[in-house]
Amino acid sequence: MIAVDTNILVYAHRADSSRRAKANRIVTGPADGSSLWSIPWPCLHEFLAIATHPRIYDPPTPLADALRQIQCWMESPTLVMLGEGEDFFPGWAEVLSNSGVAGAAVLDARVAAICLRHGVEKLFSADRDFSRFADLRTENPLLG
């Protein structure tokens, strides 16, 4: 199962993104397909925070539009939403310890730990910071 990171979701959603067409294909391919795909819950939280932020986008995406976009993704019958669960802490602590990250990168470690916990085979992301998590296979599908 693949997982989709925040930046791919934002690029797929924002009409003013130069990466929109490619990112949209990356998201709609699995959404319209028969194989399971996933979005970690923290990535949807970040999507809302970024897409609706007035200092990032002018104009920002209205909250109602961003929520409709999330609803559309969630209507995919093959989408699996990934979360922490009760036994999340030991895996997260291991990812943090192994990577040595701190500060803002702790949020990336959270996404990495969620993906590893759920057996994600590959995380689609344009964020090179995920390379710090050796156990998580990542791919930037926007390259090439």
pLDDT in tens, 55-98: 999 999 999 999 999 999 999 999 999 999 999 999 999 999 99
| Number of domains the chain is built from | 1
Note the pLDDT tens digit of each residue in 104-122. Answer: 999 999 999 999 999 999 9
- Which tokens in the block code for residue 75? 């209507």
| Amino acid of residue 98 | N
Domain, as residue range, for 76? 2-139
| Residue 54 belongs to some domain of the structure | yes
| Residue 144 belongs to some domain of the structure | no
- Which tokens in the block code for residue 19? 């990466």
pTM greater than 0.75: yes
Residue 139 main-chain phi, psi, to 5 deg? -150, 135
CATH number (domain holding residue 24): 3.40.50.1010
Cβ–Cβ contacts within 10 Å for residue 124, how many?
A: 22
| Amino acid of residue 6 | T
| Residue 60 belongs to some domain of the structure | yes
First to last CA, the chain: 22
